[in-house]
Chain A
């Protein structure tokens, strides 16, 4: 009897904590360009940035997510959030990514990447993540990244040392996300990125079915044409 009461009580407090949360669920769309803190790279960070060629090295060209921050920051692309008692599922329209994040402390941090596409390919560029609910905010911590780029346009890198936090907060129906990237091998100080999202009336995201955007076929076509010219 005592055990049942205890069980009911914990179930109630868990439900109450979830119920007290703002409604993160739904399909969201990026609104506005967002903002970023000053980015100061270390020597190693500058070396990786210098080696990066956006025309050939952007992972997006192969339908691969460059980083968590890059995937959130894609305009005109739906992002669906589903929150349950023990996990958060974030479905990104871009590249058909599905990111399943357990709720708990770092002890439940998975070793394997938390993100896969619909074909089942896992993406370590997105790291392994765990989520916590704190004061009405959803906080996601990610580690175990492989090399990626938090800014593909400028080649701002991430590494296996990078720890990323996403803080999701809702104010007046608008979703605010603050990304904090910490990596003392690459950044002189943490990089903070802020984005705003508006909830759409869509109930689900579109199927993306990404095709590699490689330009080899096109370059070969022109090379052949020039041989004939």
Chain B
């Protein structure tokens, strides 16, 4: 029964992704994680997003745009991005974007270990 439910969840998953621009086409299925410091949080349509600055071991900086669902979609789920504070260290995990340095957010782990999952249906 559990495996049947998992199969149904997998089949439904792509549909639940909010898609102002086609999410399945704009993001690959590859799951990646990026750590860094939050530079900007935007709670808006068509996509809420978090801008993260990643600094590698050599000190080189790269900005990552971590996209999520539309503001209206998140509002219907009762989700806000208030827990994501500019300047805080986080690790974001999600689907790697076809555009360089972009990701579709699955979850963000905060410095205190709290994991924020904006759209649980996607996981």
Task: Answer whether A222 and B101 are a contact pair too, CB < 8 Å, given A60-B46, A213-B47, A215-B65.
Answer: yes
* Interchain CB contact (< 8 A) of A152 among B22, B69, B72, B73: B22
A94 at interface by CB-CB < 8 Å: yes
A154 to B44, CA, bound (A): 26
Q: Which of B15-31 contact A (CB under 8 A)?
A: 15-22, 24-26
Count contacts between A and B, CB distance < 8 Å.
Answer: 88
A17 at interface by CB-CB < 8 Å: no
Chain B 71-101 against A: per-residue CB contact (8 Å), 1 yes, 0 no?
Answer: 0110110000000000000000000001111
A153 to B21, CA, bound (A): 8
A173 to B44, CA, bound (A): 32
Task: Answer whether A153 and B25 are a contact pair too, CB < 8 Å, given A77-B70, A208-B72, A213-B47.
Answer: yes
Chain A residue nearest to B53 (CB atoms) is A225
Residues of chain B within 8 A (CB-CB) of A209 are 44-45
**Are A211 and B75 neighbours in the complex by a CB distance under 8 Å?**
no
A93 to B18, CA, bound (A): 13
**Are B61 and A228 neighbours in the complex by a CB distance under 8 Å?**
yes
**Are A221 and B63 neighbours in the complex by a CB distance under 8 Å?**
yes
Minimum Cβ distance to chain A for residue B81 (Å) = 15
A213 to B45, CA, bound (A): 9
Interface size class of B (residues with CB under 8 A): 35 or more
Residues of chain B within 8 A (CB-CB) of A221 are 63
A63 to B47, CA, bound (A): 11
Interface size class of A (residues with CB under 8 A): 20 to 34
Chain B residue nearest to A60 (CB atoms) is B21
A51 to B14, CA, bound (A): 26
Minimum Cβ distance to chain B for residue A208 (Å) = 5
Residues on B facing A (Cβ under 8 Å):
14-22, 24-26, 42, 44-47, 51, 59-63, 65, 69-70, 72-73, 75-76, 98-102
Residues on A facing B (Cβ under 8 Å):
32-33, 54-55, 58, 60-61, 63, 74-77, 93-94, 152-154, 206, 208-211, 213, 215, 218, 221-222, 225-226, 228-229
